[in-house]
Amino acid sequence: MDIHFQNASVTFEGRMALAPLDVSLHERRIGIVGLNGSGKTTFARMINGLTKPISGRVIVNGLDTVKDADAVLKQVGFVFQNPQNQIILPIIRDDIAFGLKNRGLHKTIVDEAVRATLQRFSIDHLADRRAHELSGGELQLAALAALSITGPKILILDEPTNQLDLKNRALVERTILGLEQDVIVITHDLALVEAFDRVLLFHQGRLAADGKPQDVIARYREIALQ
C-alpha cells in the first residue's frame, strides 16, 4: 500500500467534509474510526476515487485518483455497508465470475479462478445459493470474494461487521485478517481494529488522531463520551 494525501480536501454543498489533509498510508491493516459525519467515509472514498478532492491530490500506488481514475478503480476495491447491493447476479458462483467474464477471459480460466476463490474464502458451500438466502456474514464473504477475484491490491471495507451476530462477526474478522490484499476498514467496531497496524480517528472533518490502535481508540472514547 502506498497512499498519499497531499493537501487534499472535500466540500459538499459549501460544507467542509474533509479539511485539507496531508497523510501517507503504507501499513497492511488500517482502521478508520470516528463518530457519524466525522469525515471517515469521505476519506476512504477518496482513496479509490469515488469522491474527488476539490483541492490537493490523492496518489494511490503512484496513480492520481482524478487523472488516472480508471486505473485506480482496478487497484482499489470497495465493499459498501450493505454488500447485497453489490451482488449483481442471483447465484453466488455466477456473481463471483462476473468480473472476470467481463474481461473476456476463457470459460476454463474463469471457472478455475472461481473455484480457487470459493476455496480461499471457505464458501464452496455457498456457490449455488441465491444471494437473498444468505446471512449477513455470508453476504460479506461473497461480496469480498467477488471483489478479490478481479485482483485489486487494496480493499476498503465499510462497516463489515455491522449488525452481524457473534458467529458471523468472528467469521468476517478472521477472513479480513487472512486476506492477501492490504485492507482499510471503516468501522464502529473498535474490537475489530485492535489487532491492526494503525488506526486513524476523524472528528469534525479533521484527522484527530493517528497511530497505534490502543492509543487512538482511547482518544476516540474521550471524544465520544465527553
138 vs 105, residue with greater confidence: 138
Q: Is the pLDDT of residue 104 over 80?
A: no
pLDDT above 90 covers a percentage of the chain that reads 75
Question: What is the residue-averaged pLDDT of the chain?
Answer: 93
What are the strands of the beta sheet with 198-203, ordered from one edge?
76-79, 154-158, 182-186, 29-34, 198-203, 206-211
Q: Which domains does the chain have, with CATH numbers?
A: 3-225 (3.40.50.300)
Whole-number Å distance between alpha carbons of 51 and 48: 8
What integer pLDDT is reported at residue 99 of this predicted model?
Answer: 84
Taking residue 103's Cβ as centre, other Cβ atoms within 10 Å add up to 9
Per residue in 5-27, pLDDT tens? Answer: 999 999 998 889 999 999 999 99
| Dihedral angle sign, alpha carbons of residues 101, 28, 178, 202 | negative
User: pLDDT confidence of 204, banded at 50, 70, 90?
Assistant: very high
What integer pLDDT is reported at residue 97 of this predicted model?
Answer: 93
- Average pLDDT of the segment spanning 219-226: 92
Q: Is the pLDDT of residue 185 over 90?
A: yes
- Report the SS3 class of residue 38: coil
What integer pLDDT is reported at residue 47 of this predicted model?
Answer: 97
User: pLDDT confidence of 137, banded at 50, 70, 90?
Assistant: confident
Whole-number Å distance between alpha carbons of 143 and 131: 10
Whole-number Å distance between alpha carbons of 27 and 14: 33
Taking residue 49's Cβ as centre, other Cβ atoms within 10 Å add up to 23
Min mean pLDDT across 130-139, 151-160, 176-185 is at 130-139
Largest CA distance in the chain: 58
Q: Is the pLDDT of residue 142 over 80?
A: yes
Per residue in 66-88, pLDDT tens? Answer: 999 999 999 999 998 888 888 88
What integer pLDDT is reported at residue 153 of this predicted model?
Answer: 95
